[in-house]
Amino acid sequence: MSQIGIQHSFDLGDGRIVTLETGKLAKQADGAVVVKLGATMILATVVSNKEAKEGVDFLPLTVDYQEKYAATGRFPGGFFRREAKLSDYEVLISRIVDRAMRPQFPDDYHADTQIMLSLISSDKKTMPDALVGLAACAAVAVSDIPFNGIISEVRVAKIDGKLCINPDADILPTATLEMIVAATETDISMVEGEMSEVSEAEMLEAIKFAHEAIKVQINAIKEFAIKAGLKPKREYCHELNDPALKEAVHKATYDKVYAVAKQGNPNKNERKVAFKAVLTEYKATYTADELKDREALINKYYHDVEYDAVRQATLDTQIRLDGRKTNQIRPIWSEVGYLPAAHGSAIFQRGETQSLTTVTLGTGKDAQLIDGAFYRGETKFILHYNFPGFSTGEAKPNRGVGRREVGHGNLAMRALSKVVPTDTPYTVRVVSDILESNGSSSMATVCAGTLALMDAGVKIAKPVTGIAMGLITNDKGQYAVLSDILGDEDHLGDMDFKICGTKNGITAYKWI
């Protein structure tokens, strides 16, 4: 006899019905939901430890999306004939969910948390990446894990001049605009996509259209959670705080940090030394024994001071950490043909960010085979992005390509692929090695990639460039829009908005 779960269904708005189910599969997880659209089914589970590890002051969240080959009646490729490490496509989907979900967990919640998403059935026409955000948030909603706001995400595309939500895979290649959008009921939290040189107005229209569809899904998640029986959110205490010490750190260091930020120094390392000197000076007011029990909290509270003081200095003066005005970009230099043996090469440097990019031209036999459960085929345009430790002055082991590298490379690939002729006889591989980094390295990859493609003789339709924009706001109504952000501004700001395009329009962008 089949176990009966709790179900809730809603209409996507075009007659297609999405069903949420819990209480049937994976019942020992903190939360488990199956999302079904047609014959496509995604199992989402979430588990979070009851306690945080000692000394952890962030949320150790892991999101893994994996396609089960049985979902499409296929055998996995490779010698072992079983699912192995996540493919780049699966990593990219995992990152989308991570970026959308992470900000909604409480800032003081630090328990190890894992969201696992599995494609367990597929009709080969429903794109699973448009449903994973819905599935992940539904699983958290039926759990006792603290969460500050329901989110969902959809794909929005413009096909034959008309916007549509979650189009089928077979018609998606004809889209002139295609984005994944994640949002809460009131705010957009993440956008990633590509387009065929569209205008800003078209892009904003698509985001608004997607948000209306997301609101329907959020309402469905709320109704589903009520039907499943709302669980009281667990109590937790993952941070020890000392309000008196926090006030003392703020009082002793805020003005000094504000002064360093206000000076404006284009050298990242010199700024780091100046900020560290303020902290060192404050710690010197304690004996070794006094500092022993306080140092971790002092470091935490000083980080908060840096965050507040740097932001406020920028808002007050409209001058940034490196001395630039908000609308200024850093000095740029570039060179093509730097590597004599490569088919094409270029160096692009903007401020303290540098990309050495190569282009290699191959035959059809060099095309990359994409062997996934949902999609199997070839691609003749490949872009790889590498980010070694020395680019930021760090000594760290090389353990292969990380998720960040996959994501940054994918954004640059999307931006450039729009101008590479589809009928080119070559397989084209672009490799960006980041040799220095202080923000916007993926955008340096786009610029260097354009130069290297032209150096290799690839007849691109138009040059593509990219820039990363930032935003700082406060509750007093002050704001600053930042052009060409630094690494520190990425960390301290409210938004990281990477946008790429030709002189005629946008080809790719990412907003978190």
Quick check: 426 and 344 in contact, CB under 8 A?
no
Residue 236 included in any domain: no
Decide if 442 contacts 498 (C-beta within 8 A).
yes
Q: How many domains does the chain have?
A: 3
Q: Are residues 501 and 415 in the same domain?
A: yes
The verdict on residue 399 lying in a domain is yes
Whether residue 283 is found in the same domain as residue 373: no
Answer yes or no: do 307 and 343 share one domain: no
Question: Could you tell me if 285 and 393 lie in one domain?
Answer: no
Sequence-distant (6+) residues with CB within 8 A of 23 are 3, 4, 5, 6, 228
Residues 252 and 222 in one domain: no
Domain end (from 261, 283, 317): 317
Contact 373, 119 (CB under 8 A): yes
CB distance 108 to 238 below 8 Å: yes
Q: Are 185 and 46 in the same domain?
A: yes
Q: 231, 186 in Cβ contact below 8 A?
A: no
Query: Please, what is the Cα angle at 467 between 472 and 262, to 5 degrees?
Result: 40
Instruction: Quote the tokens at residue 320.
Output: 């940034």
Same-domain pairing of 347 and 313? no
Structural domain containing residue 253? 243-317
* CATH number reported for the structural domain that contains residue 486 in this entry: 3.30.230.70
Q: Which structure tokens are listed for 287? A: 């004996």
CA separation (Å) from 192 to 208, 407, 502? 14, 10, 18
Domain boundary among 170, 200, 228: 228
Report the alpha-carbon distance of residue 512 to residue 393 in Å, rounded. 26
Coil, strand or helix at 201: helix
3-state helix, strand, coil in the chain (%, to 5): 35, 30, 35
Owner of token pair 């060409």:
484
- My answer on whether 144 and 248 are in the same domain is no
Is 324 inside a domain boundary?
no
Task: Please tell me whether residues 150 and 32 are part of one structural domain.
Answer: yes
User: Residue 300 domain-assigned?
Assistant: yes
Look up residue 105 and give its DSSP letter.
Answer: S
pLDDT in tens, the chain (512 residues): 566 789 999 999 889 999 999 999 999 999 999 999 999 999 999 999 999 998 888 999 999 999 999 999 989 887 788 888 899 999 999 999 999 999 999 999 999 999 999 999 999 899 999 999 999 999 999 999 999 989 999 999 999 999 999 999 999 999 999 999 999 999 999 999 999 999 999 999 999 999 999 999 999 999 999 999 989 999 999 988 999 999 999 999 999 999 999 998 988 889 999 999 999 999 999 998 889 889 999 999 999 999 999 999 999 999 999 999 999 999 999 999 999 999 999 999 999 999 999 999 999 999 988 888 888 888 999 999 999 999 988 898 888 889 999 999 999 999 999 999 988 889 999 999 999 999 889 999 999 999 999 999 999 999 999 999 999 999 999 999 999 999 888 888 888 999 999 999 999 999 88
3 vs 305: CA distance, rounded Å: 54
Phi-psi region at 409: left, alpha or beta (left = phi > 0; alpha = psi -120 to 50): alpha
- Kindly state whether residues 358 and 258 are assigned to the same domain: no
* Dihedrals phi, psi of 260, to nearest 5 degrees: -65, -45
Q: Does residue 187 belong to any structural domain of this protein?
A: yes
- pTM attached to this predicted model: 0.91
CATH number at residue 256: 1.10.10
In three-state secondary structure terms, 486 is coil
Q: How far apart are CA 81 and CA 95, in angstroms?
A: 26
Q: Rg for the chain (alpha carbons), in Å?
A: 24
- For residue 201, tell me if it sits in a domain: yes
Chosen domain end from 287, 317, 347 = 317
Task: Report if residue 142 sits inside a domain.
Answer: yes
Q: Which residues contact 92 (CB under 8 A, 6 or more apart)?
A: 406, 407, 410
Beta-bridge mates of residue 380: none
Is residue 234 included in any domain, yes or no? no
Domain match, 361 and 471 both: yes
Pair 72, 218 in one domain: yes
**How many secondary structure helices (H) and strands (E) does the chain include?**
9, 21
- Contact (CB, 8 A) for 166 and 154: yes
